[in-house]
Structure 1
Amino acid sequence: MHTESSSEPVLMPAWGHFAPQVFSAILLTIRPAFPARLVLSALASYYSYALVAGHTTGDGPTHDYAAASAIGGRWAGMLVLSWLCDPMRDWRYRDEKIAPADYPFLKRFYYAACIVASPRSLGWNVEVANVPPPTAASSRGEFLRDRILRTAQCALLLDLAQSYIKLINLQPSLPYLGTEAFPGGWRGFLLRFLCRLAWYVRSYTVMKLLSNLLSIFCVATGLFNGNPEDWRPMFGNWSDAYTVRRFWGRTWHQNLRRNFTITGRALSNALGFKRGTNASAYTQLYTGFALSGIMHVWGDVMLGPPYLGTSMKFFLANACAITFEDAVIAVSRRQFGYGREPTKWTIRLGYLWVIAWFYMVGPLFVDWFLPMPRSTEEEFLPFSFVRSRYAPSLLTKIMKYTF
C-alpha cells in the first residue's frame, strides 16, 4: 500500500496491537512526575507510531486500516488517562473507598490494567453515559446460549456483506465509484447505496463479532472477567439512532466516549466556557470528532503517504451534520411547537435522515477505499456459507438487478 519510492512494509508483530495499552497501564501504575511522564509518553508515542508506519498486517488494506486505527485509539487513550485526568487517585470501583493509587505495586498495576481494558468504565464512578443494560440472562449458561446465537447471526450478516463486496469487485465500473464515470440514474444510485451499506455493515459486524467471541471465551472459561453482567453489548440500540447525534453518542461511540468526554471537557474548561452553554457543548462535540479523526488518521498512515489525512474529512463532516441537525430541530421546535420528546413521525423521519446522511457522506469513508487494490478481496471469516453451493443464489439475483 506504500508508494514505490518507500521501502517494502514489514509485518507488524502480533503483540504490537496491545503495546499502547501496556504503556498506558505502566504509566498509570507508576504515576511519574511531569518530566519523566513527558519523556515516557513521547517514547511510547514514537514506538506506537513505529508500529504503524512502514508496517502491514499482511491481510490487505482494510485490515491495515483497522489495526492502525485501533492502535491510534489506544495511543489516544494512553495520553488522555496520563495527562487529562488522574484515574488512580480520583476513580473508584463500585463501593470501594480506597484510591487505586494507594494499593501495593502489583495491585496498582492490576487496577491500572482494568481501567485501560474497560473503555466504558463499567462499574466505576465515571461510567460513561448511555451504556446498554446487561443481557437478560439469569445464568452463565443462558448468557452463553444467547451470545452464541447472536454471534452466529452476526457472522451470517458479515458473510452476506463480505460476499457482496467481493462480487462487486467483478464489475468494471467499481474503480470509478465516486466519479462521473460511474453509472448514473436509479441503477447508479442503487449500486452506490448497496456498496456503501455493505461496507458499513462489514465494519459493524467485524467489531461486534470480535467482541462477542471474546465475551464467550471469558464467560465460558472464567478468565480475565467471567461475569456475564460486565459483558454489555458493544453497541447501543439501533432504535436510538434517529438523529446523527444519537447515532454516534448512543449507538456507535460506546467504546470511545470516555476519551472524547474527558478531552472535550478539558479543552472547554481551558477555554473558560461555562458547563452547559452552547460554547461548551460544541467545543466538546468538535473535539470528540477531531480526536476520532486523529485516531483513524493512524489508519491512513499505514495505508501510505497518499492517504494521509483522508479519514479526518469524514469525522469533521459528521460534526458539521450534527450542528446543522441541532439547528433544524431548534427551529422546528420554535416554529411548529414541537416538545422536547419526539413523536413517532419525527422519529421515522429521523431514521430516513440518518440513512440519507450516511449515504451522502459515503464518498468520504467508502468510495475512496473500495477501488483500492485488494480491499474487495479480503476475507474476515474462515468460511462463507453465502458463497457456498448450499446457499440460495440470493446475491446472484441482487447483482442481476444492480449491475
Structure 2
Amino acid sequence: MSPPTALVIGAGIAGLAAAAALTRAGWTVELVERAPEPRVAGAALSLWPNAMAGLRRLGAAARIEADAAPIVRMLLTTREGGALIDRAVADAYLPTRALLQAALRNMAGDLAVEWAREAVELVSAERGEIGFAGGKRRSADLVVVADGVRSAIGRAITGTEETYRGYSGVVALSDAMEGDIPAGLAAEYWGRHERFGVFDLGGGRRYWFHMRTARIGEPAPTLGEIAARTAGWPAPVRDAVAATPAERLIPWPIHARSAPKRLARGRVVCVGDAGHAMEPNLGQGACQAIEDAAALGAAAIQTDDPADVPALFEAMRLPRVRQVVARAGEGGYAVHGPVVVQAAMRAALRMMPGALKKRAAAGVQTMPDY
C-alpha cells in the first residue's frame, strides 16, 4: 500500500514543522511556497519549554540546544525599574529564525520546496483540493495550510479575519557589544503606549524589539527616531539600539485573528498563523506552530485512515489554541490599552503571588501530552 500523501502550503516555520512531523510519520509530503525563492523573514524567536518539547518530538531540538542562546531568566519591568515578573527559566532558547528554519528543514529530509506557488482557493475541503494562482489545482489525502496570517484558505476554514491590533514597531539583531545585560536574560520594559524588549542572543549580541501604539499604516520608526526615544530607558535598551545598523531593522505591524472557530474541515487543517495568528505578548507564535506539528504527527500515527487526521488534530488543538490566542490578546492592553487599564493590569501583576505567576506561565509554556 502506498503511503498517504500530504500537501503542505507554506515553507515557513509552521509548514516546515508540519512537513517534518508527517515525514517522520511515514507520509509522502509535498511542500509549496508562494515566495519565488528561499528567504528568512524575521530576527529571532523565543522558544519556551512547550516548543522545545515539540521540537524533541520532531527530532529537531538538538540543533537548537547546541547553537541557540539559552534563556535562563525572564524579567518584566516598567521603564522606571519596577519589576512585575522576575523568574528563573529552564529549557528555553533564543534561536535566530534562520537557525530554527534550518533545523526544521534538516528534519524534513530531502523534501524539495516548490517555489512561486500561491494557494488562492479552497476548491473542496472534502476532496482535499486546492486552487492555485494561474488556475492549477492540486489535491492530497491531507492538506496542511501554513501560509501565514493573510491566508485566504485560513480565513475560510477558521471563520476569522486578520485585523490590525493598534500597535506596531520593529525587531532587530544587534552587532556584538559591551553591555551589562546578564547572560541568558530575556527582558521586557514597559512604558505608557510603548515598550522595548532586549534578549541575550549570545556572543555579545542582542535581539531587541520596540513596540508603540500607532495608527494603521503609520510608517515604522527609523533607527534614529528609536534611538532618540531611548533617553530615560534602562541602559540595556539604549546599548542594544546603539549597537544596531539601520539596515537590520525589520518593520512589524501587529495583525492577528480572534480565537479560531475551527482548525479543520474535510481533509484540510490549518496550522501556525494561518490557523491562529496571535498577538506577540506571550512569545507563543512559533511555539504554538511547533505544537501544531507535534499534534499533527501524533494524529497521523493514531489512525490508518488519513481522512480521520483533521478531526483528531482539531480535537487535540482547538481548545488549547483558543485559550492561548485569547490570553495573548489580553496582554496587549497592559501597554497599548487605555491608561486606566494599563494601571490596573500592572497593579494586578505586582500583587499576584510568585507561585501564581509561575503557575500561569506553566499553563502556557507546557505542551499537552498529544
Larger Rg: 1
Q: Please identify which structure carries the higher strand content.
A: 2
Q: TM-score of the superposition, structure 1-length normalised?
A: 0.27
Q: Please identify which structure carries the higher helix content.
A: 1
